[in-house]
Chains A and B, each alone.
Chain A
Amino acid sequence: MVDTVAGAGPDPHVSGDDPNRRDFIHIAAGVAALGVVGGLAWPFIDQMNPAGDTLALASIEFDLSKVVQGQQVVVKWRGKPLFVRYRTPAEIAAAIKDDHADLRDPQTDEARHKPGKAQYLVLIGVCTHLGCVPTFGGGDYGGWLCPCHGSVYDTSGRIRRGPAPKNLEVPDYSFLSDTKIKVG
């Protein structure tokens, strides 16, 4: 930098012999430019995040009387499949029996349904591995089998085998009446 001013004159302020002040200007300008670029970059990155209307997520109501025992209904919620399953007593018993088995993501069956409503299992039907939709009735645990890479879930939707790390997620929901739930 110092050489940029040809023929250093006697006045040190003009000649640029004072590296500290020059450096200060350079660093200050550089930092300011970086700040501007950084500040401008954020809007350009954030625009890809979910937009306002996408965030204003609709919740849905579901009439449980539409499901009969042993049946599973799949509805779409926030773009994802939602499983509503009316479990048989045998399935519930199997789930409770395994409460203390060697589980990858330990959780009791009790914690996965609403109190006194063990027959209704409400799950987000998205495999916790890479997001495929598991099919009911496959696998060795009486629950779901994911067609993509073979994750097996039990009758409580807990992961038992295969690459998925977590149990099928239970969404936020509540009972509006004995036969009606509100999800989200």
Chain B
Amino acid sequence: MSGHSTYEPKTGFERWLDSRLPILRFAQDTMVSFPTPKNLNYWWTFGGILAMMLGIQIVTGIILAMHYVPHVDYAFNSVERIMRDVNYGWLVRYTHANGASMFFLAVYVHMFRNLYYGSYKAPREVLWILGCIIYILMMGTAFFGYVLPWGQMSFHGAVVITNLIGAIPLVGPSITTWLWGGFAVDDPTLNRFFSLHYLLPFVIAGVVGLHIWALHVPGNNNPTGVEVKSKEDTVPFHPYYTVKDGFAISVFLILYASFVFFMPNVLGDAINYVQANPLQTPLHIVPEWYLLPFYAILRAVPNKLMGVVAMGGALITLFVLPWLDTSKVKSMRYRPTARLYFFIFILACLVLGVCGAHAPDDLVIPGFSGLQFLDANINSYVWLSRIGALYYFAYFYVITPLLGLTETPLPVPDSISTPVLSHPASAPTGAAASPEKRG
């Protein structure tokens, strides 16, 4: 997309089409000859995996929608019917339900990759922001989808999340009523959530288009974080990365299939196989695993409004990250101190996830009674999630800005090729320079 096209129409038809709708040129330039840094590692294969997951969710989702009934009296049973009576319905539903988890797994790897290699920095800020928008749309889609089977967790999860909006001063309660279409989560709510669950994946697909457009202007970042300097630094996307992505996708599919076929319910909550009962809340409300860290941040704050603000803030923070980072060096390969804080950041996210899964008053170290500190036991998950949340925000607002100013990075190579070529032993001698070309 960025200028120089290498497409040469071969047949008369291609020439005819190219001067009317240059779609083959577009495909060739974006997916075949696109110049890609030659040093991308496997962390770069998750973009392709994500595209595949979106496709799988849309296909399985449309099939589920052929059998699903969005009505409070029938929804739960229609999903059970999909599981028991519809031919291969179990397969389609397990693929869809576990697909959501795999989708988030891939997006998290993809996002942490961007943090580590500084891919959000100039000139890729817009690309990063589009990614953050996709992530938030994914959370919305998964939330709406989880409500559809109308189990106990579907229902009460929907109650809790929609009530979050009620925390907004003045207009909050009217917005909640507007979202519900009534005075409680009920049939109107289920219907519109189904409509939105159908819609949002296509919105995501649209934003993915923009995301790829924004990728193809500056091109890929790479593990050195040094921008491409010459043609020597790149290889054509096909066959180098089609093959590499293809291999990664195959491995990823093995993991995915082992969930679908051997443990389809481990990532879900058993209580969601009990039909929704508005009169009784399950003892322990938890969202799906991929939302747990944010749930923990919400509960870390003892005040309702401030909890919601903190949770929203955790997401908004991602959008401003390109302007919080003061370091000129992109890749953490050359930033040992930043790398250390980054790994603690991953740990903090995991700890927050664990906190989100536990009741706030549960003891972190069983058997150790701890002591009361302010409003809760110091040995409880409330305090652990406070520490985690504190680190989450400190990482973005304190550590990242200060580190760029104070640290001394390791020497950064002049170009992508330099670290390879300066090691004579590893420089390929006499190997075919362009195996993608026949002959």
Residue numbers of A with Cβ under 8 A of B are: 45, 48-51, 54, 57, 74, 76, 78-81, 125, 129-135, 146-150, 163-165
Contacts and interface: CB of A to CB of B under 8 A. Distances in A.
Contacts of B166: 130-131
B236 interface: no
Contact of A79 (B179, B278, B303, B307): B278
B304 A81 contact: no
Nearest to A148: B285
A50 B285 contact: no
A133 B281 contact: yes
Contacts of A133: 278-281
Main secondary structure of the interface of B (DSSP, over half): loop
Given A78-B184, A79-B182, A50 B177 contact: yes
A131 B360 CA distance: 17
Contact of A150 (B159, B162, B360): B360
B361 interface: yes
A79 B181 contact: no
Nearest to B284: A147
A132 B279 contact: no
Nearest to A166: B304
Interface in B136-184: 156, 159-160, 162-164, 166, 177-184
Contacts of B359: 150
A133 B177 CA distance: 18
- Scoring A54, A74, A78 by chain B CB atoms within 10 A of each residue's CB, the highest score goes to A54
B374 interface: no
Contact of B192 (A48, A134, A149): A48
B383 to A, nearest CB: 14
Contact of B285 (A76, A132, A134, A163): A132
Contacts, number: 86
Contacts of B185: 79
8 closest residue pairs by CB, A with B: A79-B184, A130-B163, A131-B163, A133-B281, A132-B281, A130-B160, A131-B159, A81-B279
A76 B188 contact: no
A76 B183 CA distance: 12
A21 B115 CA distance: 54
Nearest to A149: B299
B178 A48 contact: yes
B179 A165 contact: no
B116 to A, nearest CB: 34
Contacts of B365: none
B235 to A, nearest CB: 48
B304 A129 contact: yes
Given A133-B279, A133-B281, A163-B304, A50 B160 contact: no
B279 A130 contact: no
Interface in B265-280: 278-280
A126 B103 CA distance: 34
Given A49-B178, A131-B160, A149 B360 contact: yes
B302 A163 contact: yes
A79 B304 contact: no
B154 to A, nearest CB: 14
Contacts of B432: none
A69 B307 CA distance: 39
